[in-house]
Amino acid sequence: MRWTRSARPALVALLIFGMTLAGCGGDASGPNDDDVFGTYTLRRANGESLPALTREINPGFGAGITTYAESGSFRISEDGTWAFSMHFSQLAIDDEENLSRIEYDSEDSGSYTLQGDIITLDGIKAVPLESGVLTYTVDYIALPGSPATTVHFEFEK
C-alpha cells in the first residue's frame, strides 16, 4: 500500500491567502495608473513654498551664491515618458560686494516604469508618489570636495 499526502489543504490555504491579499491591496500597486498620469506643478522645495531657497554657496571672502526654485512642472505621460522643467533665479555677490542676478531653466526627460507608488526614471532614479505629491530629490555638489546639498522638490497635480 502506498501512502500519499494530499496537497489539497495546502492549496486551499494558499488560495485563501492569495484572495486575502488581493482583497486588501496586498500587491502594493499604489495609485491607480490614471491617477499618476498628468502634469504636476512645483509647489515646494525642502518643505518651503516658492520661491524657495535650494542652494547656498559661500566660498568665503564675502562672496556667495544663493539659488531659488521659482517654478516648475513634472509630466508623467501614458506612453511611458516623463519630462520636467524648472525655473531658477540665482543671486551672486562677489568679493567686492557686487550683486548680480541670473535666471535659468533646467529640463530633463526620458522613460519611466511604475511599480506601486514608485516611479523609476530611466531605470535609475526612484521618485515616490504619495498622496498626490511627487517628490523629486536632487543632490547638488556646490564646490569640489564640499558635501552635497540635498533638495526635495515637491510637485502636485
Kindly indicate the confidence band of residue 144, based on its pLDDT and cuts at 50, 70 and 90.
confident
**What ranges do the domains of the chain cover?**
29-156
Q: Is the pLDDT of residue 142 over 90?
A: no
pLDDT of residue 60: 62
Question: With the CA atoms of 90, 95, 96 and 101 taken in that order, what torsion angle do they form, in degrees rounded to the nearest 10?
Answer: -10
For the stretch 7-57, pLDDT in tens is: 333 333 333 333 333 333 333 444 556 689 999 999 999 999 999 988 887
pTM: 0.72
127 pLDDT more than 70: yes
pLDDT on residue 44: 97
Is residue 100 pLDDT above 80, yes or no? Answer: yes
Q: What digits encode the pLDDT tens for the residues 45-95?
A: 999 999 998 888 776 666 788 899 999 999 999 999 999 999 999 998 877
